[in-house]
Chain A
Amino acid sequence: MSTQYATFHLAGHLFGVEVRRVQEVLTEQPRTPAPLAPPAIGGLINLRGQVVTALDLRRRLWLPDREEGQVAMNVVVRAADEVWSLLVDSIGGVIEAADASFEPPPDTLSGPIRELIRGAYKLDDALLLVLDVDRVLELEATPA
């Protein structure tokens, strides 16, 4: 048995989201900042006439901010009754990961990020961290 993941890179890590959760992947989009919003909110984008909230995954996962001028790609995911865009550094491909190689979050991960990762797949050349999309989008839990 295996599961398909859409993968992307974030501060040197390889992350994956179940393919069925991903609606589409977009290059950098103009974003409108949302003042007073939690810091992890990366702004609002126009997705073919629909206003979609962007979540800055680096901030959400307590990783250092993107450098000035570094573009952010959009991974558009469906959650409950809303559509969100996850801001990531670059897009990987779709990876078929064998369930057998799945493990709980590695010990090397610590802090808040550990709570937001469901586990990891040991791939030949890298470690694929599986994002818990629903938890990531529970923003109340984000310390301001």
Chain B
Amino acid sequence: MDDMDEIVQEFLVESYENLDQLDSDLVALEQQPESRELLSSVFRTIHTIKGTSGFLAFGRLEAVAHVGENLLARLRDGQMVMTLSTTDVLLRMVDTVRALLNRIEETGVEGDVEVDLVVTAIRAVLDGEEPVLPPADGAGSTADDVAPAAAVAAPAPVVAEPEPVVEVVPEPVAEVVPEPVAVVPAAPAEQAPAAPETARAQAGSAAESTIRVDVELLESLVRQAGELVLARNQILQRASALRDEDLTRACHRLNLVASEMQEGVMRTRMQPIDHLWSKLPRVVRDLSSQLGRKIKLEMEGGDTELDRTLLEAVKDPLTHIVRNAVDHGIEPPDVRLAAGKPEVGTLKMRAAHEGGQVLVEVRDDGKGIDPAVIGAKAVQKGLLTQAKLDTLTTNDILQFLFMPGFSTAAKVTNVSGRGVGMDVVKTNIERIGGSVDVESTPGAGTIWRLRIPLTLAIVPALTVECAGQRYAMPQVNLLELVSLDTGRMANAIEDVGGAKVYRLRGVLLPLIRLEEALELKRPADAELPTNLVIAVLECDGRRFGLVVDRVLDTEEIVVKPLSGALKAIGSYAGATILGDGRVSLILDVQSLARRTMRADGLDHIAGQQVAAASTVADGQRLLVVGLGDNRRVAIPLDVVTRLEEFKTDSIERVGRREVVRYRGEILPLVRLSHHLGGSSRGARGAAELDAVPGVVYSARGRSVAIVVDEIIDIVSGQDAHSDIDDAGLIGSAVIRDRVTELLDVRAAILAADPNFFTEQAQKELAAASSRLGV
């Protein structure tokens, strides 16, 4: 009997996975009714379910799958063509199958799940008649109120020419298929609707090179890999002091192996975000037909991978945002036409790696969010006064959307607008160390951006020193570092109503001195630091500066829990063990940020930020750097791995090229001012400084450094592009009222390291061919 249970369990797991794919496949089929591949894939899934359910004596399931299979066979063989009503009955069939599987999972038997109606409806379609689908009785129970949506959609008169309600532009899933991913079970062939022939041919062998692994086991491997990395860090540090050649060699190998192993283990938990997205086409289709919207769903970057635990945590927030965009973002067709927009709204999902995080963007071209409405609502709710409201930036006002119980929906629908939602979205995303922000242009649309860490177990952190102690903080929150000598400090730090602020490029930045925040005591005889560093941090949409004595390093740290007594303090997010074996506390940046917001006298600072607020348009975030002759150059932030200060004396020449010693490696270097044919800042020429700021870009173990004269700011990209360009540039834009040149990053990287892309490309090719078993 146990064997039997196991078989049923296996059948359920596999079927659920296949069904999720079916939903997207069917919606995609509406757009490409001719696609033999999609049809074959759908047919195979249903065929498998039919076969197995017959074997396991699930009669109802078999009956449903059987008629479904008949219909699919005709479609596949070209005897029938996909229409709106065919898709409807097929989706209903999937819902019914899912309901049956749920019942089997819960009770072990099929019970009395209603199947006759669906069977009749499919038969009707087979006979060329109009199917009569009754309202769903909650059969598609997996997608909460999505099922009723199908019900509303179904009885709609079927027009002769099927109108595209949802257009799905499927991302070629092919790339992710042949990769052996341990946690992605099921025959990949079924999951590759749009896979090209080559990948399809490989599908068989891919299935054989894939195994199921217990997630618990993976988790424990990840933990142990983290511990291994810590132990390695400690050994390396000790060994370097001993100057034993053999030991050094062994350590070097340990170093490599540990790094590679950690990377490998982390990759076993990575899954493409497609796993989560595959459910969205169905959600959008059902919701839009229920609400009478016409929506084209575009997806880009579905192969972006992130840790599966994070994927799970992002699922609900992301679905909520998508539903919200369909419900409140995109207008009904007539409203859109009246506003001079295309009838079909566009909902665009984009995922990409960006600076060690995964950026997930949901962008609609709907009516946008009117800050005036939000502001009025906030005043009405007594959250702030009108006078105060007038001083807030648009960005500040939109933050109200994330307040608990804040809903601006004129009428409450069952889709969204229940006053719960965005605050929960924010809480859930921040819980996993991510962030969410929103940007909207009334009339033009809204962009929601989720930034999610790649993984939870190991975080890149910045270590700083203050009053002789070291503290770590997650790099996620770090925007930039500003170094001040004490002489300049007196002038640079101003006092606004009792609170310290620093004028950072014209914008007042509230400051917190770590020394004061943690009530650190310096020994009486300790020398005061001759200069200080302001770590510019961002959290909850607020920027503030944390003043510390020194920045030590950037390091990958493993977060360890704190005992209850220390957790209760609220200033620490955890502890970690640094390379020398000493414990270091991890600062809770969020709680520090709240401290600034509480501070009196900072209320009117937001007003002064209005002047500097950029008119944000295009999604990309840019790093703005300064060069000689007052030039400003923008570099896309997603090619910035790290910002560094290079000691001038660590820069050396190798032939015609310059290199810099950096974290035990030799890094090729390009000076941007030379590269772009200009001069470095005259009086402050790089040679006279003892350190120069640099932008480090790393990809697959290779890094280059781009040395600039000054790091100025990070901004969101602009629309005002002009194609006035020059060698090494791809154009220019006006950013914060200054003409800013847009760097051709590829050319700059090649100037530093001509082989950067060649070898990387070769490696990628090699990796790709090994995946294909060549």
Residues of A within 8 A of B (CB): 30-38, 41, 43-46, 49-53, 82, 84, 139
Q: Are B566 and A46 in contact (CB under 8 A)?
A: no
Q: Are A51 and B583 in contact (CB under 8 A)?
A: yes
- Residues from chain A with Cβ under 8 Å of B582 in the complex: 30, 32, 46
> Which single residue of chain B is at the shortest CB-CB distance from A83?
B563
Among A31, A41, A45, which residue has its beta carbon within 8 angstroms of that of B566? A41
**The 9 A-B residue pairs with the shortest CB-CB distance in the complex, in nearest-first order:** A35-B518, A44-B583, A53-B563, A32-B583, A51-B575, A51-B560, A139-B565, A36-B569, A82-B563
Q: Are A32 and B469 in contact (CB under 8 A)?
A: yes
> Which single residue of chain B is at the shortest CB-CB distance from A34?
B566
Digitize B677-706: 1 where CB-to-A-CB distance is under 8 Å, 0 elsewhere: 000000000000000000000000000000
**Does B562 interact with chain A (Cβ within 8 Å)?**
yes
Among B230, B564, B566, B572, which residue has its beta carbon within 8 angstroms of that of A49? B230
- Residues from chain A with Cβ under 8 Å of B585 in the complex: 32, 34, 44
Q: Are B565 and A33 in contact (CB under 8 A)?
A: no
Chain A min CB distance to B591 (Å)? 11
Q: CA separation between A33 and B577, bound complex, in Å?
A: 14
Q: CA separation between A5 and B31, bound complex, in Å?
A: 78
Q: CA separation between A44 and B519, bound complex, in Å?
A: 18
Digitize B576-595: 1 where CB-to-A-CB distance is under 8 Å, 0 elsewhere: 11000111110000000000
Return 11 A-B CB contacts under 8 Å, by A number. Answer: A32-B575, A32-B584, A34-B566, A36-B518, A36-B569, A46-B582, A46-B583, A49-B577, A51-B583, A82-B564, A84-B563
Q: Are B584 and A49 in contact (CB under 8 A)?
A: no
Q: How many A-B residue pairs have CB under 8 A?
A: 61
- 6 further interface pairs, Cβ-Cβ under 8 Å (given A49-B231, A51-B561, A51-B562): A30-B582, A33-B469, A34-B572, A46-B582, A51-B577, A53-B565
Q: CA separation between A30 and B519, bound complex, in Å?
A: 21
> Which single residue of chain B is at the shortest CB-CB distance from A35?
B518
- Residues from chain A with Cβ under 8 Å of B566 in the complex: 34, 37, 41, 44, 53
Q: Are A49 and B569 in contact (CB under 8 A)?
A: no
> Which single residue of chain A is at the shortest CB-CB distance from B574?
A51
> Which single residue of chain B is at the shortest CB-CB distance from A138?
B565
Q: Are B227 and A49 in contact (CB under 8 A)?
A: yes
Chain B min CB distance to A32 (Å)? 4
Q: Are B227 and A36 in contact (CB under 8 A)?
A: no
Q: CA separation between A52 and B561, bound complex, in Å?
A: 10
- Residues from chain B with Cβ under 8 Å of A46 in the complex: 577, 581-583
Q: CA separation between A104 and B192, bound complex, in Å?
A: 76
> Which single residue of chain A is at the shortest CB-CB distance from B227?
A49
> Which single residue of chain A is at the shortest CB-CB distance from B514?
A35
**Does B520 interact with chain A (Cβ within 8 Å)?**
yes
Residues of B within 8 A of A (CB): 227, 230-231, 469-470, 518-520, 560-566, 569, 571-572, 575-577, 581-585
Q: CA separation between A82 and B566, bound complex, in Å?
A: 12
- Residues from chain A with Cβ under 8 Å of B571 in the complex: 35-36
Q: Are A37 and B583 in contact (CB under 8 A)?
A: no
- Residues from chain B with Cβ under 8 Å of A43 in the complex: 583
Q: Are A38 and B565 in contact (CB under 8 A)?
A: yes
Q: CA separation between A50 and B518, bound complex, in Å?
A: 24
With contact pairs A45-B583, A49-B227, A50-B560 given, residues A35 and B519 touching in the complex (Cβ less than 8 Å): yes
Chain A min CB distance to B172 (Å)? 44
- Residues from chain B with Cβ under 8 Å of A31 in the complex: 583
> Which single residue of chain A is at the shortest CB-CB distance from B560?
A51
- Residues from chain A with Cβ under 8 Å of B519 in the complex: 35-36
- Residues from chain A with Cβ under 8 Å of B469 in the complex: 32-33, 35
- Residues from chain A with Cβ under 8 Å of B576 in the complex: 51
Q: CA separation between A69 and B581, bound complex, in Å?
A: 22
Q: Are B564 and A37 in contact (CB under 8 A)?
A: no
Chain A min CB distance to B149 (Å)? 46
Q: CA separation between A45 and B582, bound complex, in Å?
A: 7
- Residues from chain B with Cβ under 8 Å of A33 in the complex: 469
- Residues from chain B with Cβ under 8 Å of A139 in the complex: 565
Chain B min CB distance to A140 (Å)? 8
Q: CA separation between A84 and B565, bound complex, in Å?
A: 11
- Residues from chain A with Cβ under 8 Å of B520 in the complex: 35
Chain B min CB distance to A138 (Å)? 9
Of the listed residues A36, A41, A82, the one surrounded by the most CB atoms of chain B closer than 10 A to its CB is A36
Q: CA separation between A78 and B349, bound complex, in Å?
A: 50
- Residues from chain B with Cβ under 8 Å of A52 in the complex: 563
Chain A min CB distance to B451 (Å)? 28
- Residues from chain A with Cβ under 8 Å of B518 in the complex: 35-36
With contact pairs A32-B582, A35-B520 given, residues A41 and B577 touching in the complex (Cβ less than 8 Å): no
Q: CA separation between A53 and B568, bound complex, in Å?
A: 13
Q: CA separation between A50 and B227, bound complex, in Å?
A: 10
Chain B min CB distance to A79 (Å)? 10
Q: CA separation between A119 and B561, bound complex, in Å?
A: 34
Q: CA separation between A91 and B560, bound complex, in Å?
A: 29
Q: Are B565 and A41 in contact (CB under 8 A)?
A: yes
Chain B min CB distance to A55 (Å)? 9
- Residues from chain A with Cβ under 8 Å of B565 in the complex: 37-38, 41, 53, 139
> Which single residue of chain B is at the shortest CB-CB distance from A53?
B563
> Which single residue of chain B is at the shortest CB-CB distance from A84?
B563
Q: CA separation between A36 and B560, bound complex, in Å?
A: 19
Q: CA separation between A109 and B668, bound complex, in Å?
A: 70
Q: CA separation between A46 and B230, bound complex, in Å?
A: 12
Q: Are B230 and A44 in contact (CB under 8 A)?
A: no
Q: CA separation between A93 and B512, bound complex, in Å?
A: 49
- Residues from chain B with Cβ under 8 Å of A82 in the complex: 563-564
Q: CA separation between A116 and B231, bound complex, in Å?
A: 38
- Residues from chain B with Cβ under 8 Å of A44 in the complex: 566, 575, 583, 585
Q: CA separation between A41 and B569, bound complex, in Å?
A: 12
Q: CA separation between A51 and B563, bound complex, in Å?
A: 9
- Residues from chain A with Cβ under 8 Å of B230 in the complex: 49
Q: CA separation between A31 and B569, bound complex, in Å?
A: 18
- Residues from chain B with Cβ under 8 Å of A32 in the complex: 469-470, 575, 582-585
- Residues from chain A with Cβ under 8 Å of B569 in the complex: 34, 36-37
